[in-house]
Chain A
Amino acid sequence: MVDETRKNEVLEKLRNGVIQYDEDACREGAQEAVDLGMDANEAIFEGLVAGMEEVGRLFEAQEYFVPEILMCADALYAGLDILKPHCKQMDLGVKGSVVIGTVEGDVHDIGKNLVKMMFDVAGFTVYDLGRDVPLDKFVEEQLKTDSDLVCLSAMMTTSMVGMPTVIEKIKEKNPECLIMIGGAPTSKELADKWGADGYAQDASNALKEAIKMVAFLRKLREEKLKK
């Protein structure tokens, strides 16, 4: 049995490591969690993700700006890289796999990468196509991997116009697949018009949405453990 006090110390270290964008602290905390034989999922959700939730709050309160968010994300990954190999498959009722990428003509991918991070954290299998991805590649990859989700990102109006084509093609072949779009030029109206299932305005909002999603999973997990 893992010592409760020691465990809480490690979780606190991971949480603070993310909030204070201290990569070394996250790495140390993650290694301690592994050495202690702690549940890696718990370390991720109660430590790293809890920290990122606070970061989201600090951003909303305008105490953190974009550079801080990015540094926090780097710190989170530093811990995640160590904990990931020790994760057990979580049974939360979601079989998660997602195809994600920035559409053709667009090389802006900070937002896409932040969203990808939260999928990584949540234990999804992420097929990251990168940036400037040809439209057909999304369709192909979805069919190949049979992913539950496809996320399309664009920061420029000129590249955004490729989105409805992708949505249409995927929905035609696989109506069950959920599609999320995001990026500065997109809007809720456009998402509805094009038949997308979800929408996020920009990097920080996408992050917030993704945090909410992961926070929800975290709650599910807690409830499951109580039973």
Chain B
Amino acid sequence: METLGLKEYLKGEGATLVGVGDVTRALTEEIAHLNRGIAIAVNRSLNRTTVDLLSRLQDLTEGWLRERGFRALAIPADSDRVTGTFISRLYKLFSHKVAATCSGLGWVGKNGLVINHDYGSKLTWATVLTDAPLEVDRPSTVSRCGDCNLCVKHCPSGAIKGQLWSSGEPLKEMVAYEKCRSLKKDRLLLNGKPNCGLCITICPYSRNDRRKVETCVVCVGS
């Protein structure tokens, strides 16, 4: 299939990264037939304009697929905030992290977020599931966080456990989310902005630090 064509098309329309993954292992019965996950990322934080851009990219993807006679189900970037429709009930059956890692665009970092080698966690993700036989990318199977523990050390709520992710243990809990959530609550009361985002900004990959993790061990030690 013209997989490359689709990727180039979406990048031309504003996508930063596009990947295709075989997501079979993560699908429940309702969506078992949609075994290709198209991961779309833009290097912007999650806000209204980002969501709108991703939603437009998803519309284009759906159109592209349906024109060719395939099914498509778009999982929006802010899927956890979309409620009240029938289809939104299916969103929680699928995590963007699955599509992102299965398409090799990143691994799940110690901070519990997808980390891409070039952009770190400063990406917002959306997924389109489809039954089109697109060529799949090579999946990420292991963490590349190495010995770096910057996010573990700097997390103000002490929520990050310092675990190394691997695709073989998809259910491993990387972050004590209740700790992170309670901090978010406090922050929301304080200044109306719940997210502290330190685990994103501190990450050498997010900072586009050329030393990356391989050498970063030194700076952690100092």
Residues of A within 8 A of B (CB): 65-68, 70-71, 73-74, 77, 110, 113-114
Contact = CB atoms under 8 A, between A and B. Distances in A.
B33 A70 contact: no
Given A65-B71, A67-B73, A68-B71, A113 B33 contact: no
Given A67-B90, A70-B89, A74-B87, 10 more contacts: A65-B71, A66-B30, A67-B31, A67-B34, A67-B73, A67-B87, A70-B85, A71-B87, A73-B86, A110-B86
Interface in B30-51: 30-31, 33-34
Contact of A114 (B71, B73, B86): B86
A70 B87 contact: yes
B30 A67 contact: yes
B195 to A, nearest CB: 27
Interface string B72-90: 0100000000000111011
Given A74-B85, A110-B86, A66 B71 contact: no
Interface of chain B: mostly helix, strand, loop or mixed: loop
Nearest to B73: A67
Contacts of A65: 30, 33, 71
A70 B73 CA distance: 11
Interface of B: 30-31, 33-34, 71, 73, 85-87, 89-90
* Chain A CB within 10 Å, residue with most, of B33, B73, B86: B86
Contacts of B89: 70, 110
B74 to A, nearest CB: 10
Contacts of A66: 30-31, 90
Nearest to A20: B66
A74 B85 CA distance: 6
8 contacts: A66-B90, A67-B30, A70-B87, A70-B89, A71-B86, A71-B87, A113-B86, A114-B86
A57 to B, nearest CB: 18
B152 to A, nearest CB: 34
Nearest to B89: A110
A210 B27 CA distance: 29
B136 to A, nearest CB: 21
Pairs of residues from A and B, 9 with the lowest C-beta to C-beta distance, nearest first: A70-B86, A73-B86, A70-B87, A66-B30, A67-B73, A74-B85, A74-B86, A71-B87, A110-B89
A74 B89 CA distance: 12
Contacts of A67: 30-31, 34, 71, 73, 87, 90
* Chain B CB within 10 Å, residue with most, of A67, A68, A110: A67
A110 B30 CA distance: 12
Contacts of B30: 65-67
A37 to B, nearest CB: 30
* Chain B CB within 10 Å, residue with most, of A65, A68, A110, A113: A65
Nearest to A78: B85
A73 B85 CA distance: 9
Contacts of A110: 86, 89
Contacts of B31: 66-67
A67 B88 CA distance: 10
Contacts of A71: 86-87
B176 to A, nearest CB: 24
A71 B91 CA distance: 12
Contacts of B71: 65, 67-68
Contacts of A113: 86
A70 B30 CA distance: 11
